[in-house]
Amino acid sequence: MKTVLVFGTFDVIHPGHIYFLQKAAAEGDRLVAVIARDRFVLKTKKRNPVHGEEERISHIMQSGLVDEAFLSDEVTGTYGVVEKVNPQVVCFGHDQHKLAESFTQWISNNDKKIQIVTIEPYKRDRYSSTLRNKNHY
C-alpha cells in the first residue's frame, strides 16, 4: 500500500483544499493529513485559526478526503509524524516552499527515500485560504 502524506492548516476547507487533497490522494492508496497546531498557525500566519486544531482534524476526517489525520509534531522540523506514518510520497502545496525546503533537508540528513510532489494551485485568486478567511473576521 502506497501512503501519501500532506501537511496543512486546513482551516475552513474550501475547493482549493479539496483539489489539493484529491490530487495528493491520486498519488497513492492511502492519504494521511498532518494538521498544523494552533500555536504554529499563530506564529506563521500572525493570526489564530478560525477553528481549533482538534476541530480541524474532525472537519478533515468528516470530509472523507483523507484516510487519517494527525496533529503535527510539538517541535517543528522534527518530522516524528513522518517516522510514524512512513509515507512513500509527500505532497506539498504550491505555497509551501519553506516547509518543502525544510522537509527536503530532513530527508537528505536522515537518508530517507521519499518522493516529493508539488501540487499546482486551483484557482488561487478565488479559493486561497487567505482570501476565504478574511470573511470570518
Domains defined for the chain, CATH in brackets: 3-134 (3.40.50.620)
Q: What is the pLDDT of residues 40-92, one digit of tens each?
A: 999 988 999 999 999 999 999 999 999 999 999 999 889 999 999 999 999 99
The length of the chain is 137
Q: Which amino acid is at 40?
A: F
pLDDT score recorded for residue 1: 94
Exposure of 81 by Cβ count < 10 A (0-12 exposed, 13-18 middle, 19+ buried)? middle
Q: Provide the mean pLDDT of the chain.
A: 91
Closest CA to 18 of 50, 60, 69, 51: 60
Q: Which helix (H) or strand (E) holds 101?
A: helix 97-109
Write the pLDDT tens digit of every residue in 23-34: 999 999 999 999
- Does pTM top 0.85 for this prediction? yes
- pLDDT on residue 122: 84
Taking the C-alpha atoms of residue 114 and residue 135, their distance in angstroms, rounded to an integer, is 37
